[in-house]
Chains A and B, each alone.
Chain A
């Protein structure tokens, strides 16, 4: 086959030497693709050129042929580098495929279902900035009256973060019934995480539990952004702060637990720092802006509210998120009779 390529190359070269026209040059350019397709190395291209020239213009001075041999030597390293480059591309394609598989596994492994509790409307959006999400939302629906949610942000991105999340998920799946008070949950997860992660890895987590029988929302936080509680009657927001250290730093952490009683129309927005640290050209977004955005759609469903906030804030960043973005909204609706 190289001989065939060599023969064709000679024809094209001859035409160009005779005409020196743009068209024949263009034919040559097109032909160079065949070199690439057939993976002919740069030094072999020079070789083919030399052979063609020997047949077309055998009377050239010896110095020309000697210089051609010199050029062939020069090109050998280009050839090697090119082959390395091609093999890297192939490796990268394989890695990319593995990443795609890992992302699918992550999605399947970590999927969660919105809880179904009378009088509670739940909406959420969790959007990764890159391929794998470092934020994690997990719902527990203990019984028909109780719905809980964990909103977590794993420091570090990509695969280590994803592995860490599986740990959280299985930790929560293993919670025994009756032991699901927020402070107890964080304590258990902290023990699991602390044993298993390296020094510079940690997780922030907000855990909230809504009990429809008393309409109370109790919560604890492990170093996480405070949630926002909207009181519909007064039309005001309040930060739900609870002291507690990040997960995975040390054992025996005391997590505070607090509770609010929700009335119809009240809602609680739990977010990760991808929301509160939204950065635009003018600087960081203020907490008040987030509150205004939420309040402006307070009459809509929790899902619509979450989507509205996402669309507005992602829009501000021209849909190039700087960090993973997660918001979960628990909204109390009048119970249907």
Chain B
């Protein structure tokens, strides 16, 4: 299983586009990419997960670790493009309350809050 992580920098925002499935096998790839930038002071990071269909708790662990490290360095993390399954995962775990999350526009209407 493959995972692609593309990094774009726009107006001082680090924009990551993640493509593929995030599980125990692919999570290390993502972790490596994110760890490289997480120490930057006042990092503004945006993670686009609109092309991630599946993620397990290992993937969640990567985002939690990234969120904690960025926050500790005065930065901000935003996650966008979650499909229904992923946004349920962020809601059940309570992470949607602490991480800045933007849902896929097309799926906003069936979100239960």
Choose from A153, A225, A245, A323 the contact partner of B98 (Cβ within 8 Å).
A245
A208 within 8 A of B: no
Please determine whether B98 and A250 come into contact, CB atoms closer than 8 angstroms: yes
Main secondary structure of the interface of A (DSSP, over half): loop
B42 within 8 A of A: no
Choose from A222, A249, A277 the contact partner of B64 (Cβ within 8 Å).
A249
A278 within 8 A of B: no
Once A and B bind, how many residue pairs between them come within 8 Å at the CB atom?
Answer: 55
For the A-B complex with A246-B64, A277-B56 known, give 19 more contacts whose Cβ atoms are closer than 8 Å: A155-B57, A156-B58, A198-B65, A199-B65, A199-B68, A200-B31, A200-B61, A200-B65, A201-B61, A202-B61, A204-B93, A226-B92, A244-B94, A245-B94, A249-B64, A249-B68, A249-B98, A273-B57, A284-B85
A49 within 8 A of B: no
Chain B residues closer than 8 Å to A200, beta-carbon distance? 31, 61-62, 64-65
Chain B residues closer than 8 Å to A226, beta-carbon distance? 92
Please determine whether B69 and A199 come into contact, CB atoms closer than 8 angstroms: yes
Q: How many A residues touch the partner, as a band?
A: 20 to 34
CA distance A222 to B85 in the complex (A): 19
Interface set of B (CB-CB < 8 Å, partner A): 24, 31, 56-58, 60-62, 64-65, 68-69, 85, 92-95, 97-98
In the complex formed, the residue of B with least CB distance to A201 is B61
CA distance A202 to B65 in the complex (A): 10
CA distance A204 to B91 in the complex (A): 13
Choose from B61, B68, B85, B94 the contact partner of A155 (Cβ within 8 Å).
B61
In the complex formed, the residue of A with least CB distance to B93 is A223
CA distance A184 to B92 in the complex (A): 19
A10 within 8 A of B: no
Please determine whether B95 and A223 come into contact, CB atoms closer than 8 angstroms: yes
Please determine whether B92 and A223 come into contact, CB atoms closer than 8 angstroms: yes
In the complex formed, the residue of A with least CB distance to B99 is A249
Given contacts A155-B58, A273-B57, contact A199 B64 (CB under 8 A): yes
The 6 closest A-B pairs by CB, nearest first: A200-B65, A245-B94, A223-B93, A199-B65, A200-B61, A199-B68
CA distance A202 to B94 in the complex (A): 12
CA distance A64 to B62 in the complex (A): 61
Given contacts A244-B94, A245-B93, A246-B95, contact A202 B64 (CB under 8 A): yes
Chain B residues closer than 8 Å to A273, beta-carbon distance? 56-57
How close is B43's CB to chain A, nearest CB, in angstroms? 15
CA distance A263 to B65 in the complex (A): 43
CA distance A243 to B94 in the complex (A): 7
Contact residues of A between 200 and 227, Cβ < 8 Å to B: 200-202, 204, 222-226
Please determine whether B92 and A225 come into contact, CB atoms closer than 8 angstroms: yes
- 30 pairs from A and B in contact (CB 8 Å cutoff): A153-B57, A155-B57, A155-B58, A199-B64, A199-B65, A199-B69, A200-B61, A200-B62, A200-B64, A200-B65, A201-B61, A202-B60, A202-B61, A202-B64, A204-B57, A204-B93, A223-B92, A223-B94, A223-B95, A243-B97, A245-B93, A245-B95, A245-B97, A245-B98, A246-B93, A246-B94, A246-B95, A249-B95, A273-B57, A284-B85
